[in-house]
Amino acid sequence: MSARRSFDARVRDALADPHLKIAIERTTGNARTKRAAAILSWPSYPAVRDLARDIKDHVIANLDHYLVQFERNALASGAQVHWARTGQEACAIVVDICRKAGVRSATRAKSMLGEEIGLPHALADAGIERVETDLAEHIIQLAGDPPSHIVWPALHKTREQVRALFLARHHDPGALETVEAMVASARRELRARFQAADAGISGANFLIADTGAICTVTNEGNAELTTTLPRIHIVTAGIEKLVPSTAHAMALLRPLVRSATGAELTQYTTFHCGPKRAGDRDGPDAFHIVLVDGGRTRMLDEGLAEMLRCLRCGACLNHCVVYRHIGGHAYGGTYPGPMGSVLTPIFDGLPQTRDLAQACTLNGQCQEVCPVAIPLPTLLRGWRDRSWREGLEPATVRWAVRAWRFVALRPALFRLVNSVAVRAMPLFARGGWIRRMPLAGGWTDHRDLPRPAARTFMAQYRSQRP
């Protein structure tokens, strides 16, 4: 995917792809149905949601305290803690750890932070073999695609497309006539590489301050193989993943998993605390935790603190009418959908990404389904305000809004303009509808425009009044 191509061009490609809508709808439709059922049968959800929001807000307001506490406890557990101001620094730290330890091959458990900081590229540049072990990540690694969803990164591929990919790229695929056969083929492909890896790299769903442990939630068990088999385990995590205690992690886990998949729990919820101790049967010899700022403290300064609540559940993507039609790649950033439209300008700059906040109907469903009540439409409006202030909006939009304002502040002119409009528009009508009209292509290219009434409401109302 080329970030240099325009948003409109990416949207055009997405809408022209006949498989994409089918693929998106299969996964997100299923997720919406299951989430709705889970929430419906969970009477305490509103209270749980308030609690989850309050926990995140408390941590965000006290990041300095919990970061220091986490570091102290992680060090005490035998972990090594690294601090990275930027994604590049974080990648450099990971590569440095790998080089010093002679790592040639690293397995990775799916981590959106890893994508955000560009870790796949950094590993490739350093000549370290990267093996994606999450099934969906394995699919997109074979296809050379970036993720298109934060929970199901290969959601843009139909199972038919995955079958073709595996047939072409797996060493011993067999016939692959069922989904089970496809999973088994991926298992065969990955098994030896799990065992051969020198390092395992994961993210973290939670950083637990009072124990120094990290928590990962997965459904495939690949994270456990990634983090326990190799001699080194490296965690990269955003600093907003902190929670005060394991109990707080549990309080967030419940709405996180239900919002993501509708399940009560993921198949695997694993707490990793320090490296292998004397007498432990397995676990890594060295356990590194890289804490990444990567724009997060800047979000605090720029009025986006509420976005740091995000648990990365993907519910806002699954319920977004825009995401559901254009898919993740059209957004052009690491994170798509409503949460991505708020985050991407922070990472990639507003001038390059101004379309994201605009390409939204502000319908509010994202906020409604967010398990930590992030006011996503308000935050998107914030980017729109800034884009306007910084003069990033196209001249045509600026001119149109200014002209509208001039008229809206002058009632007599407003009435005149409307009266002229309702007289002019019928010239283009056939019967009650207008199929084409100059300057209205945005509307009439796709739908008919009703013919306006012969006289405006105000004109009729005025003449009726005594």
Partner 1 sequence: MVQKPGPTPREAPNVGLFVTCLVDTMRPSIGFAAITLLEAAGCRVEAPLDQTCCGQPALNAGDRDGAAQVARRTIALLEPFDAVVVPSGSCAATIKIHYPELFHDDPAWKARAEALGARTYELLSYLADQRGWLPDQVALGATATYHDSCSGLRELGVHAQPRRLLAAVEGLALRPLAGSDTCCGFGGTFCVKYPAISNAIVGEKAGHVEATGAELLLGGDLGCLMNMAGKLHRTGSGVRAFHTAEILAGMGTGPAIGELP
In the complex, minimum distance from the CB of residue 302 to partner 1, in angstroms, rounded to a whole number: 15
Amino acid (one-letter) located at 186:
A
Rg (CA), the chain: 26
| Sequence-distant (≥ 6) Cβ neighbours of residue 39 within 8 angstroms | 45, 258
> Total residues contacting partner 1 (rule CB under 8 A)?
67
**DSSP assignments along 8-36, one per residue:** HHHHHHHHH-HHHHHHHHHHHHHHHHHHH
Place of tokens 């009726």: 464
Q: Which of 124, 192, 421, 424 binds partner 1 (CB under 8 A)?
A: 421
46 part of the interface to partner 1, by CB under 8 A: no
Q: Which of 42, 407, 428, 437 binds partner 1 (CB under 8 A)?
A: 407
Q: Which of 389, 395, 438, 463 binds partner 1 (CB under 8 A)?
A: 389
What is the helix (H) or strand (E) element at residue 82, kind and residue range? strand 80-84
316 part of the interface to partner 1, by CB under 8 A: no
Report the C-alpha gap between 254 and 119 in whole angstroms.
29
Choice between 75 and 407, CB closer to partner 1:
407
Return the range that interacts with partner 1 (CB under 8 A); candidates 110-118, 248-256, 338-346, 457-465: 457-465
What is the helix (H) or strand (E) element at residue 125, kind and residue range? helix 119-125
Return the range that interacts with partner 1 (CB under 8 A); candidates 95-103, 121-129, 276-284, 358-366: 358-366
Choice between 164 and 321, CB closer to partner 1:
321
In the complex, minimum distance from the CB of residue 354 to partner 1, in angstroms, rounded to a whole number: 10
Taking CA 120 as the corner, what is the angle to CA 117 and CA 122, rounded to the nearest 5 degrees?
Answer: 75
In the complex, minimum distance from the CB of residue 254 to partner 1, in angstroms, rounded to a whole number: 24
428-447: contacts with partner 1 (CB under 8 A): 431-433, 435, 440-443, 445-447
Report the C-alpha gap between 301 and 295 in whole angstroms.
10
Q: Which of 61, 124, 179, 397 binds partner 1 (CB under 8 A)?
A: 397
10-29: contacts with partner 1 (CB under 8 A): 11-12, 15, 21
Chain centroid to Cα 137, Å, comes to 15
Amino acid (one-letter) located at 395:
A
Coil, helix or strand for 164?
helix
Q: Which of 409, 427, 463, 466 binds partner 1 (CB under 8 A)?
A: 409
Query: What count of residues does the chain have?
Result: 466
Choice between 271 and 433, CB closer to partner 1:
433
49 part of the interface to partner 1, by CB under 8 A: no
Q: Which of 34, 49, 381, 437 binds partner 1 (CB under 8 A)?
A: 381
Choice between 43 and 442, CB closer to partner 1:
442
Report the C-alpha gap between 272 and 4 in whole angstroms.
40
Return the range that interacts with partner 1 (CB under 8 A); candidates 54-62, 151-159, 264-272, 398-406: 398-406
Report the C-alpha gap between 425 and 222 in whole angstroms.
62
Q: Counting Cβ atoms within 10 Å, is residue 160 exposed (0-12), middle (13-18) or buried (19+)?
A: exposed
List interacting residues with partner 1 (CB under 8 A).
Answer: 8, 11-12, 15, 21, 321-322, 325-326, 358-365, 367-368, 381, 383-389, 393, 397, 400-402, 404-405, 407-411, 414, 418, 421-422, 431-433, 435, 440-443, 445-453, 455-458, 460-462
